Chains A and B, each alone.
Chain A
Amino acid sequence: MLAQHSDEEVIARCRAGDLEAFGWLYARYARQVYRFSYHMLGDADDADDVKQDTFLKAYQAMPGFRGECSLQTWLIKIAGNLCRDRLKSRARRSELALIPEIADSLHDTRTLGVDPAATLERKDLHDTVHRVLGGLPEPQRLLIVLRDIEGLNYQQIADVLGCSVSSVKLRLFRARRGFRDRIESLLKVR
């Protein structure tokens, strides 16, 4: 029933304390928030925690949501902030050791064959790219996840980051170049 209503109508009901309406928002956007968080954090459990915290904060801040951006962008923005906090706490605890993991994956892929694409597909390509993503600086990772994985357009990314579209394009170009250089260096080693 709620699926027929627009986000604005559901948001109005959420502001009035309608948990059923908020449950509909959760069902609609939770998967995207989780996927984004997973790509950012590289851990399913952390992504689940961030997803739940994101909706908790969204429900608390719903009266202050002014509709200047889409609800999807707003939720991604909240999730991005929570991911950033979690990454910082990880860095403080020195739990993020993705570079050695990438080196391990390089060591493993040396014996897998000549065709890098086929080898990567056979040997858990998903995990390798995920680790390369995890080795990127957080701002670059955020841009690649938002644009090339989640498929947000430039304006939505600009809303999330709070910058201009041209700035998004320039930053995205640098982030892609960094990501590609890492992947290329990995393939060359093999």
Chain B
Amino acid sequence: MSGFPFSACRAVQRALWDYAYNRLSEGPLEMVERHLPTCAACRSELESVRRTQALLAAYREQPPPPPRSDWEALRKRLIEEVPAPAAREAHRQEPTVAVVSVGGARRYSRSSGIGGWLPSVAYSGGIAALLVVAALGYRLLLPRRAAEKSAAPSLSVRARSGPPASLSGNASARPSAPTRNMHPVAPAPEATDAGNDLDDYSTASGSEANPYLITASQSDRPDSEQEMTSPKVKKRSRSSLPRWQGRIAARQPERLAAHRAESAARDEGKLHFVSHKPQPTESAPPRVEENQNENLLDSITPVSQGGDTSERFVMGALTPMRYHDDSPY
């Protein structure tokens, strides 16, 4: 009785309960009536089902103990414990209002009507307006950046050795910084040195590594070019300098020019200026007036020079800058 040896018996026994209740449709009813005469186990099962159903029917006919008539008690609880529907609705709306006031991104599904989706639309519109303003601002800034680029000195330095020793103790041990060459420099005939590690510094911080480059090129430029360079651009270029070099470039342009001329004369052949723009015809180096630069040069007299490294003071700088022997300086 407890086992189902055959799949047919299993299907019939599943249908026996409804068969005993006369609830089977034609197809299952025919299957059961065809199977029962041939299977004693299923007939026994049917008898057991009928007994159980009789017990349940008797149980169903016996009513349970009468319930308490507690409507008044329930009404009292409803009045005391459950807030009025209007208050409940207001309470349910509170989270929606709070969330929208903060971000507006979330919307509760319960909130219906225009109050439900309007904050989201306003939020989306605000985001779209911000995007449009950002795009317009970027477009407006593009020409300005181009002007700044064109106004920036287009000089780069090609040197045999690495950066100044003050930036890295050993030039060969310096990790290769990513090249950020804003102005690719075509190799000039006189600047075909193999090692150009300084390019990273001279271009990335073209103006950071050597303040001379900016001041020299700007001073050498015609007046019309200098007029194109707005004060803001100049300020930006200076602000990109290290602080101590920027102070020199801002306050003592004459001293810088004089020192540049002096060092160019001393290190002739080691420093190469490469320019994208055609240089003015035979632009003479800045004139160095000995009487003007005498005091200045006294203050920057090299401390020592010779051997593998040379050491000297940059004008106004307290920190000595060390260069390798093959440095263009």
Contact = CB atoms under 8 A, between A and B. Distances in A.
Interface of A: 15-17, 19, 22-23, 26-27, 30-31, 34-35, 38-39, 44, 47-48, 51-52, 55-56, 59-60, 63-64, 116-117, 120-121, 125-126, 129-130, 144, 148-149, 169, 173, 176, 179-181, 183-184, 187
5 contacts: A35-B64, A39-B64, A47-B64, A52-B77, A184-B48
B58 A125 contact: yes
Interface stretch (B66-74, B185-193, B307-315): B66-74
Interface string B92-114: 10000000000000000010000
Majority-rule SS of B interface residues: helix
B67 A63 contact: no
A126 B82 CA distance: 38
A183 B56 CA distance: 11
A185 to B, nearest CB: 11
Nearest to B84: A17
A56 B82 contact: yes
Contacts of A26: 71, 74
B117 interface: no
Nearest to A186: B55
Nearest to B2: A181
Nearest to B73: A52
Contact of A129 (B55, B68, B74): B55
Contact of B67 (A22, A48, A60, A117): A48
A117 B70 CA distance: 37
B81 A56 contact: yes
Q: Which of A63, A117, A148, A169 has the most CB of B within 10 A?
A: A148
Contacts of B67: 30-31, 34, 44, 47-48, 51
B292 interface: no
A126 B74 contact: no
Interface in B35-92: 48-49, 51-56, 58-60, 62, 64-65, 67-68, 70-71, 73-75, 77-79, 81-82, 84-86, 88-89, 92
Nearest to A169: B14
B91 to A, nearest CB: 11
3 tightest A-B CB contacts, nearest first: A126-B62, A129-B59, A34-B67
Nearest to A14: B85
B17 interface: yes
Nearest to B92: A63
Contact of B52 (A15, A30, A180): A180
B4 to A, nearest CB: 10
Given A35-B64, A38-B64, A17 B85 contact: yes
B78 A117 contact: no
Contacts of B78: 19, 22, 56, 59
Interface of B: 2, 14, 17, 48-49, 51-56, 58-60, 62, 64-65, 67-68, 70-71, 73-75, 77-79, 81-82, 84-86, 88-89, 92, 110
B73 A149 contact: no
A179 B56 CA distance: 10
Contact of A126 (B14, B54, B58, B73): B58
A44 B48 contact: no
A38 to B, nearest CB: 4
Majority-rule SS of A interface residues: helix
Nearest to B15: A173
Given A56-B77, A117-B51, A144-B56, 11 more contacts: A15-B85, A34-B64, A47-B67, A59-B78, A116-B51, A125-B62, A148-B53, A169-B14, A173-B17, A176-B52, A180-B49
A39 B67 CA distance: 13
Contacts of A38: 64-65
A179 B17 contact: no
A125 B79 CA distance: 42
Contacts of A27: 71
A144 B52 CA distance: 12
B100 to A, nearest CB: 21
A183 B2 CA distance: 14
B319 to A, nearest CB: 75
Contacts of A144: 56
Contact of B64 (A44, A120, A148, A181): A44
A184 B82 CA distance: 48
Contacts of B65: 38, 44
Given A17-B85, A17-B86, A148 B62 contact: no
